[in-house]
Amino acid sequence: MCYDRFVRVFRCFVLSFWMFFLGIGDCYSLGWQASIHATLKHNSALVYDHNGNMLFSHNADQQMVPASILKLATADAVLTLLGSDYKIPTEFYLTTDNYLAIKGFGDPTLVSETLADIAKILKKSLQAKKLKGFLFDTTFFAQQLSVHGQSNSDNPYDSSLGALVANYNTVNIYKAKSGVISSAEAQTPMTATAIMVAKKTPIGKHRINLGKQESKTLQHFAELMQNFLQRQNITIPATVVHSPIPKSAKKIHTHYSPSVSQIIKTLFVYSNNFIANQLLIVLGGVKKGAPADLEKGRQVLDDFLRKVVGMTYFTLDEGSGLSRNNKINAVEMMSLLIHFLPHRDLLRSYQHRFQAKTGTLRGVATFAGYMLSPRGSKGKPYPFVIMLKDPSSGLMRKKIANQLYQGIFSQILAKKLSYNNE
């Protein structure tokens, strides 16, 4: 009897400590829900427990613009349909007339460091060759790809998509007061194309996109590869031929991207719209055949969400959340979160309380993922969705998330205290 009483008292002490530590000691009255309902007004929120029981709901069936939480849908489809270990190839050939031919399949991770490593590998096959230039095969992707919601600005998030791209089709430059333009990152050499694109930029450091012309982005790719090959004592002109790989060409190397699970983890950290839509197009190409485009990717994603996840009421325009034509409600997002649960560790952590994805457009702020119980990784996650459309919604998003967290877990802990006191 004394031992049982000791255990109950000890449990009460531990639970009380957690309530104090989490700052939820005064939140477990029923008033917390009414307060959040009043704050949300015409916005939307939904929280389930780990068993699928609804703990909080407000306008959960209201169609909203998801912004970047839509990346959860793209990621879920890619991981499920291609497999978390799938890697995107880039193929390198030597033609009979001595062109270095490269076929792209949409790898979004070809950055300067990667291209420098590839040049080292190619050295053995290219040395002593009198190379005439580059032959680029981009036929895996359709031409003139565009994303609703993109503008013609030089911002990185407006960079163009493509089968063969370097550094997300962006350049990081520094423009001195004298007007001299140089690379703002040690690993990336300056190219003639980058200098031309950056001429109109103001003084200072800027990351800008290369524009929508594929000829320009491919020329930049050629100039980068030319520089990296020269470091390996391989001489090659930056001449570009745009053509399918000749059947007579000899394959000399295949480079593989990191696994899509690794790419998606990076996608969630930086909320990179370019990566999201590149992956969606790759998914469409793999499943429906070349030439891959956003429409094929959208069809595969739509079919996946309806037939595999069980979603019904939503509208998809692209895969990153950039378009305001995307529409979904919190109930459908909850179905997605439940299906995505095995991959939740790819998401960013916030305040040791949430594993989640944010979404932001002008006048739109969303937050979706999993609440972590006070037990941390030992506790089971609680999926949640918050979708706001107020002008000041960006400030409200995490405030509401914390209020929901405090209210829900204070109520759970209070029930445990009550039980242990019986």
What mean pLDDT do residues 42-66 have? Answer: 96
- Output the pLDDT for position 21: 47
- Output the pLDDT for position 200: 87
Superfamily of domain 20-81+310-421 in the CATH hierarchy: DD-peptidase/beta-lactamase superfamily (3.40.710.10)
- Output the pLDDT for position 53: 94
- How confident is residue 377, by pLDDT bands cut at 50, 70 and 90? very low
> How do residues 285-313 score in pLDDT, each as one tens digit?
999 999 999 999 999 999 999 999 999 99
Alpha helices in 41-186 (DSSP H): 71-81, 112-126
Calpha distance 189→225 (Å, rounded): 10
Is the predicted pLDDT of residue 420 greater than 60, yes or no? no
> How do residues 392-406 score in pLDDT, each as one tens digit?
767 789 999 999 999
Backbone angles phi, psi at 14, to 5 degrees: -65, -45
- How confident is residue 10, by pLDDT bands cut at 50, 70 and 90? very low
- Output the pLDDT for position 60: 98
Calpha distance 357→15 (Å, rounded): 29
Residue, of 79 and 11, whose pLDDT is higher: 79
pTM of the model: 0.90
- Output the pLDDT for position 12: 46
What own/partner pairs with CB < 8 Å and gap ≥ 24 does 25-33 have? 25/410, 27/406, 27/407, 27/410, 28/407, 28/410, 28/411, 28/413, 28/414, 32/403, 32/406, 32/407, 32/410, 32/411, 33/407
Is the predicted pLDDT of residue 29 greater than 80, yes or no? no
Calpha distance 21→306 (Å, rounded): 42
Is the predicted pLDDT of residue 18 greater than 50, yes or no? no
- Output the pLDDT for position 170: 93
- Output the pLDDT for position 155: 66
- How confident is residue 122, by pLDDT bands cut at 50, 70 and 90? very high
What mean pLDDT do residues 95-121 have? Answer: 98
Question: In percent, how much of the chain has pLDDT > 70?
Answer: 86
Contact 374, 392 (CB under 8 A): no
What mean pLDDT do residues 22-41 have? Answer: 71
Is the predicted pLDDT of residue 421 greater than 70, yes or no? no
Give me the chain's average pLDDT, please: 89
Strand order in the sheet with 54-58: 54-58, 44-48, 382-388, 364-371, 354-361, 348-350
* Residue 300 vs residues 130, 250, 274: alpha-carbon distances, Å: 44, 33, 18
Calpha distance 271→74 (Å, rounded): 12
- How confident is residue 99, by pLDDT bands cut at 50, 70 and 90? very high
Is the predicted pLDDT of residue 15 greater than 80, yes or no? no
> Domain residues of the chain, as ranges?
20-81+310-421, 89-257
Is the predicted pLDDT of residue 1 greater than 70, yes or no? no
Is the predicted pLDDT of residue 391 greater than 70, yes or no? no
- Output the pLDDT for position 213: 84
How many other β-carbons are positioned within 10 Å of the β-carbon of residue 186? Answer: 7
- How confident is residue 411, by pLDDT bands cut at 50, 70 and 90? confident
Window from 53-67, 142-156, 376-390 with minimum mean pLDDT: 142-156
